[in-house]
Chain A
Amino acid sequence: MSVSRERVVEKYAKAELGFWLYLMTDIILFASLFATYMVLRPNIAGGMSSSELFDPTFALAETVLLLMSSFTCGLAVLFLRFRYKSTGLTLLAVTLLLGGMFLFLEMYEFMEFIHEGQSWQTSGFLSGFFALVATHGLHITIGILWGLVLFWYIFKKGITANAMRRVSLFSLFWHFLDIVWIFIFTIVYLGAFV
């Protein structure tokens, strides 16, 4: 016995509100990490300072990748909504690929810093930096995992009402991470040179 259409609509309305609320709580989570970073930023304890360490061009490359992935994510949702399955799935795959490249760059940057002897154990400033940026990276990882599951689900079961409601929530999440990154780029990377 399958569930009625109204039940699906009603459940989606709840899930959407619930997911927005979850995103708000995530904002508080990031806000706490931003505050921690700002408080600890002057405490370099003999390690490198933010302006010595960061390369804004590198961070710009990451930003461009993530913004592009948000664009393709939006396109993917549109195409899926109009039931272009293969185009939509391709765009979803591109989104995840761009996210993966972003993640790779971030890991590369982390490795670079650690290689230079600037790890999270070096100073309060670096502890704050790694916690903030890695938490964003962890969210991206979860997003990629979620996107892969959605890809597989739509590939197998087609564009069902349930699939679309999950895709909409996924795109909310992905755009949200983009916004958080804009703040990281501005406050952490550009802020180092103000």
Chain B
Amino acid sequence: MSDFVTFLIGRMSFEYLPTDPATIGAAIGMPLGVLAVAALITYFKKWKWLWQQWVTTVDAKKIGTMYIVVAILMLLRGGADALMLRLQTAVAVGDAKGPFDADMFQQVVTAHGTLMIFFVAMGLVFGIINWVLPLLIGARDMAFPVLNSISFWLFASGMILNNFALVFGGFSNGGWLGYPPLTGLEYNPGPGVDYWIWSLQIAGIGSLLSGVNFFTTIIKNRAPGMTLMKMPIFTWSVLVTSVLIMLAFPILTVTLALLGFDRTLGTHFFTSDSGGNPMLYINLIWAWGHPEVYILVLPAFGVFSEVVATYSKKKLFGYKSMVIALLAIMFFSFIVWQHHFFTMGAGANVNAFFGIMTAVIAIPTGVKIFNWLFTMYRGSIHFTAPMFWFLAFVVTFTIGGVTGVLMAVPALDFQVHNTLFLVAHFHNVIIGGVVFGLFAGITHWFPKIFGFKLHDGLGKLSAILWQVGFILAFIPLYILGLMGAVRRLDSYDDPTWQPLFIVSGIGVVVIALGMAALIMQIGYSIWKRNELKDETGDPWDGRTLEWSVPSPAPHYNFAVTPTVTERDDWWYRKQRNDTAYLKSDYVDIWLPKNSAVGLLVGVGAGMAGFAIIWHLWWLLVPALLFVVLVIIRQTMNDDDDARVSATELFHEDNLGRRA
């Protein structure tokens, strides 16, 4: 091949096209799906609507909806991966072959973990935060609405890049955290690991910017009278989470960049020769990775704090202790990272320190669990779908927490390190905590965003199926782990393990049914949206400010900025019968204009990532230049606000309330 062709196509070649049937199916199916959606949009002439209402929107509620849609799509793909994994382990015993070869199996494992953490859990968390953070603090929008849109499009861009690996090039087989030297050039010369690095890098920078945005929003945009200690606990959890994001994500940025340099520039950060140090990578990635699990779970804790208080018709038990617990978790989450590799050989004293800190962090978490239970105690409990998710959470998360404390003991951890016991533990806390929490949050706040409620019965069915499926899928993994089954195991010799793997596989199928019930719940509710319509704006007799505005919340959130006098201000206002605005309260307001900057930055970043993955240097330079120019243009834009007049607000607000 001539130099010019190499320059043009980098290292692309036909050998990177998918060869096995499952991947070919996905590689053809995904683009067809995208084309089908595009055709439908064209048929219904919705492109303009899509562009104006969604793509260029800077309204946090809509950005939140886009996050959640992406997250649920990725949940379906990540769930399909889980089904494939358990199908393999249900059959691949002894000489029997599973449907996947070892390399393919590792790719599926890696894709499952990466998608679930970075694009499902993060997407759901950021989606819920965008939905309700401004509403909860009586604000009209985020502090930096355009930056918020940039964050979302970087997230979407990373997601697309990640999925594109399936169509062309194959994905990393190095596990969700990509430990070198396995992910180094020597053992992984193909583009798979590069897809992993750069898709996460792009999405991660989006998350970092979100952290700055959320923090500034909470500090600067609160309604008058809302002191920090009068904020809803969800807001506190977002405040703490954004601190964790700001402190942890730069470490991820550096770590991924250095691994990328090792692979593209020939540096020796994490290689096993020329003075590289792979253990440095493992320290760095977990210095990000441990806070990351709290970044995911704290907002879910925040959701439960709102949900339990609302459906128990009681104020939250132990508000101050909740805040202290959050701050304690924030602090301790940075001094436990070494427990992910007790077996590295750091020495008994180091292991003892990190083991004790890990056990200590369970205390503030336990405080929170008891506070929720005490909130329910003697409350007038309404057993709605969010409460079902909460109860499922208490059971699942507590089991996960307890097994976590078990593994905090280094001596015991040596036995179960890298086994399915660990896999069961973190699924316990992440599914039980994050997924259940955010499903509760989606159900709880859905009417505020869309104007109609989700069907309660199907939600409960979904919660029950998830809970039952979860127990079936993961309790066997604890037992297998204790018996010595390592994680990422694609085949095994001991036939006594097979029944447990089969039970686990059945569990995944039950979870898939739970997911189907959830999708049905959304579909059915859209179909019956007139019957489920939320007329009052306050369907659950809520406690916090978001329930004081009509449903769906108008794009400016609050026609009149509320003045807050106490915690759960809306609840006490209702008690005092003091919920109406006066005509004279309406004033002109300023709202940010729509902006395509987010999309353009996302496209530029995605192109740059693609260029690095395939060594298309001619594309990298213009792509980065494009991003820089778009940002420069935005920073020089003085005209990004539009006025909404007081009369307009008055009319719209009063019409909305009557309708």
Contact = CB atoms under 8 A, between A and B. Distances in A.
A124 B274 contact: yes
A160 B280 CA distance: 48
Nearest to B144: A18
A40 interface: yes
Contact of A124 (B257, B269, B284): B269
Nearest to B637: A162
A21 B254 contact: no
Interface in A24-59: 24-26, 28-29, 32-33, 35-36, 39-40, 43-45
Contact of A18 (B143, B254, B265): B143
A79 interface: no
B255 A32 contact: yes
Interface in A84-134: 120-125, 127-128, 130-131
B576 interface: no
A18 B268 contact: no
B98 to A, nearest CB: 40
Interface stretch (B214-222, B305-313, B378-386): B214-222
A17 interface: yes
Contacts of B215: 21
Given A14-B220, A162-B638, A124 B253 contact: no
B212 A18 contact: yes
Name the interface size band of chain A: 35 or more
A179 interface: no
Nearest to A123: B275
Contacts of B632: 145-146, 149
A17 B219 CA distance: 9
A187 B287 CA distance: 22
Contacts of A18: 143-144, 147, 212-213, 216
Interface residues of B, number: 47
B643 interface: yes
Contact of B212 (A25, A45, A131): A25
Given A121-B266, A121-B268, A153 B219 contact: no
B251 A36 contact: no
A18 B148 CA distance: 12
Contacts of B284: 32, 35-36
Contacts of A124: 268-269, 274-277
Interface stretch (B53-61, B106-114, B242-250, B443-451): B242-250
A25 B268 contact: no
Interface string B186-218: 000000000000000000000010011101100
A21 B247 CA distance: 10
Given A25-B208, A127-B269, A149-B635, A40 B274 contact: no
A127 B221 CA distance: 43
Contacts of A14: 143-144, 216, 220-221
Interface string B323-339: 00000000000000000
A29 B254 contact: yes
Contacts of A15: 144
B590 interface: yes
Contacts of B590: 3-4, 7
Interface in B225-284: 246-251, 253-255, 257-258, 261-262, 265-269, 273-277, 280, 284
Nearest 10 pairs of A and B residues by beta carbon: A43-B275, A124-B275, A45-B275, A127-B267, A28-B250, A29-B250, A32-B254, A123-B275, A121-B266, A45-B274
30 contacts: A1-B643, A3-B590, A3-B639, A3-B641, A4-B590, A14-B220, A14-B221, A18-B144, A18-B212, A28-B246, A32-B254, A32-B287, A33-B254, A39-B277, A39-B280, A43-B276, A45-B268, A45-B274, A122-B268, A123-B268, A124-B269, A124-B277, A128-B269, A131-B261, A131-B269, A145-B628, A146-B632, A160-B638, A162-B638, A166-B635
